[in-house]
Amino acid sequence: LQNPCLEDAEEAIKSGISRHRTVVIAGKCTVDYDGRASSKLEEGERLVIFKPDGSALIHRPKDYSPVNWQPSGSIFQTKLGKDGLVVRVFRRKERESMVITFLELQLVSVLDLVDKGEFNLYASEKEMQEAILFKPDLLEAGFRPMTKEMAVDPGFIDIIGYDQAGTLTVVEIKRVKANKKAVEQLKKYMDVIDLDKDRSVRAILVAPEITDNGQELLVELGYEFRALSPQECSDILKQKKGTPLTAFFNP
């Protein structure tokens, strides 16, 4: 409904809530909350969402977080009164309530949304680091990690270890496509670590993929690239089963 009168809006909102639909409302309203604390949100135009699980969210035109909300399991009461269309969202057990008074409405939508998709949150750079420490062969066969987050003047080296031949190896990890800047960051670490001309040091950049200019600089500097995705690391970490991180360092 676009620009509905309060009477039509009341009917639509009641129907949507009773049928366990998602109800989206845009309009001018006030909000009064009473519970563990109390608050009053004065008149303004806002987006209000009632979900089938009994949760309620009130968003202002800015910021991503709701200014007021009630969790799932809440109860809704809708009534048209002299001050406007009032929707009371409350929880009996916790003795808290949120009263929304709509003065004017621009939109009321009752939606039968279906969402059976699985949500996959893949690994961060720190979790990619943990996956390599847990299973060093992700980097290459025979790799032995010695330390992580080593502090050097330009920052922190993700992992330092030794390869199968005993060569000191510096590892920089990126969870997104690595670019020239990532290679330059690795070079700064190498400038600190690779000071002994009699000692060989390898540099490996780990990321899902790398840009063309990043690859060019990598080759020019004699560094190496290993393709590793956050999803693969996430799958590896599921095997970890609570083993202490220190168990994967060589003494």
Could you list the pLDDT tens digit for every one of the 251 residues in the chain?
Answer: 999 999 999 999 999 999 999 999 999 999 999 987 899 999 999 999 999 999 999 999 998 899 999 999 999 999 999 999 999 999 988 889 999 999 999 999 999 999 988 766 678 899 999 999 999 999 999 999 999 999 988 889 999 999 999 999 999 999 999 999 999 999 999 999 977 777 899 999 999 999 999 999 999 999 999 999 998 898 888 887 555 555 545 54
Which residues are within 8 A (CB) of 8 and not within 5 positions of it... i.e. 6 or more apart? Answer: 1, 108
DSSP letter (8 states) at residue 14: H
Burial 164-194 (b: 16+ CB within 10 A, else e): eeeebbbbbbbbeebbbebbebbbebbeebb
At 61, list the tokens.
């035109």
- Domains of the chain plus CATH, in order, are 6-111 (2.70.180.20), 125-248 (3.40.1350.10)
Q: How many angstroms separate the CA atoms of 56 and 72, rounded?
A: 8
* Residue 98, pLDDT score: 97
* Residue 176, pLDDT score: 92
Query: Which uninterrupted H or E stretch holds 49?
Result: strand 38-50
> Reduced to 3 states, what is the DSSP secondary structure of residue 55?
coil
Beta carbons of 17 and 23 less than 8 angstroms apart: yes
Q: How many angstroms separate the CA atoms of 124 and 35, rounded?
A: 37
Tokens 């003494």, residue located: 251
Beta carbons of 43 and 25 less than 8 angstroms apart: no
Which residues are within 8 A (CB) of 142 and not within 5 positions of it... i.e. 6 or more apart? Answer: 163, 164, 165
**Would you mind telling me the total number of residues written for the chain in this entry?**
251
* Residue 238, pLDDT score: 84
* Residue 13, pLDDT score: 98
* Residue 190, pLDDT score: 94
pTM: 0.56
